[in-house]
Amino acid sequence: MKAAVYYETGAPDVFRYEDVPDPVAGPGTVLIGVEAISIEGGDTLNRLGGEMPDRPHVVGYQCAGTIREVGEGVTDRQAGQRVVATMMWGSHAELVAVPSIITWPIPEGGDIVKCACVPVAFGTADDCLFEFGHLQAGETVLIQAGAGGVGIAAIQLAKRAGATVLATASSEERLKPLYDLGMDHGVDYSQPGWVERVRELTNGQGVNLVVDSVGGKVLQGSVACLAYRGRCITVGSAGRDPELLDVRALGPGNQSITGVFLGAEILRARDMIQRHVDDVAAGKLTVVVDRTFPLADAAAAHEYIESRQAVGRVVLIP
């Protein structure tokens, strides 16, 4: 099979488009012919400097396609079934073999490109907002990096739950499409004074919950945006502008900060993720795909993501 591989971590130009051995469907796994690859934020971070379990390495957390074979002991999946799958690595390829337990059926008529983008983004957003963020109807939530995959998912889920939704992006242009998804107020966090703007929009009270996937200096600002007893969720951390957080700042406001990693909760979250796959397939939730690239152009796709121009997901097509 063909795959986008690299032999060392670094900038997007480390990618090579090469033949690698086909994976096989072992016990408990399914072999999937990949049709769409959602590039996750972690994919770019891993390519930049993450662990490499093998060489050449095939990066990637998530993809969708059609099952070609089922391994021994698999009874809940069958050949010919369309699924979206998550994995530790390997999505940037024409074939993947993954445990059937971390695949989700795509309903008849569902757009496979859009469904390919669901589990990590919508599962993470749901956990940040509800499982760990305890968001309630009538509360106010700030979604950092609202134009990203997790941000777009969180905006919709928070609005559907009855919250007032503020979101940030790096330009007014990237904020505009977010209003149609349920954002009530947009804030350009590339500009000075964005924390003050958030507090103005909440009549000086601050927000009940922040979902922060950026980290560093932005996380410092997120804490400053919290209301009394506010909760801050840090997830993913895009790695820009690193800065340590002094947690003593949380004490006077009886505030809290929680780290979230969906991968550690993926089995508990299976049914929740399936509901989101079903809702995207039915048009009840929106996946925004900024653009697609051929798998052979993985380097260009990663470079585009890192340019911070995209609104929504960037998808590779084998």
CA 101 vs CA 77, 83, 266: distances in Å: 9, 11, 10
Structure confidence at residue 124 (pLDDT):
98
Structure confidence at residue 236 (pLDDT):
84
Structure confidence at residue 243 (pLDDT):
79
Segments of the chain scoring below 70 in pLDDT: 238-240
Structure confidence at residue 210 (pLDDT):
98
CA 268 vs CA 79, 107, 123, 125: distances in Å: 25, 21, 11, 15
* pTM attached to this predicted model: 0.96
d(CA 281, CA 300): 28
Structure confidence at residue 238 (pLDDT):
64
Which domains are delineated in the chain? 2-117+287-317 (3.90.180.10), 121-263 (3.40.50.720)
d(CA 133, CA 96): 33
Which tens digit of pLDDT belongs to each residue from 4-40? Answer: 999 999 999 999 999 999 999 999 999 999 999 999 9
Structure confidence at residue 240 (pLDDT):
65
